[in-house]
Amino acid sequence: MLIDFAAMEEQIIPHMRGGEKEAAMRIHTDAMGKIMKGRLIPGASIGLHTHETNSEIIYVLEGTGKVLCDGAYEPLAAGSCHYCPKGHAHSLINDSAADLVFFAVVPEQPF
């Protein structure tokens, strides 16, 4: 199955999960989870949230930023991959002067 992010309408989500500013997202969703290409402008973030029924993998395509994962900050740059396992909490933060562009996968794990 081909997922063509370029053909998807970009959704602007203000204060995503309680974060700062807004997230621009292109999202494919089905019963098995979500596959996303996202962008955070400078100063934007996705708020701290816990993955109760799933995990998340975030791969940075462009820019720099950081994640807050289980109380510790981890730096991110293009080529970095962050993994948040089921039952853990994280937040994605763009603390740079350029956009942070990322690819994320959230597979559902119902048991």
- CA distance readout (Å), 53 to 13, 29, 36, 56, 107: 22, 15, 18, 10, 9
Give the tens place of pLDDT for each residue, 1-14: 999 999 999 999 99
Give the tens place of pLDDT for each residue, 62-106: 999 999 999 999 999 999 999 999 999 999 999 999 999 999 999
> The CATH number of 10-107 is which of 1.10.10.10, 2.60.120.10, 1.10.15.40, 1.10.8.60?
2.60.120.10
- Position 108 scores a pLDDT of 86
Give the tens place of pLDDT for each residue, 28-40: 999 999 999 999 9
Q: Where are the beta strands (DSSP E) in the chain?
A: 11-14, 22-30, 33-40, 45-50, 56-62, 64-69, 72-77, 81-84, 89-93, 100-107
| Token pair of 45 as six digits | 């973030």
Ordered by start, the domain boundaries in the chain are 10-107
Q: By the 8 A CB rule, do 69 and 82 touch? A: yes
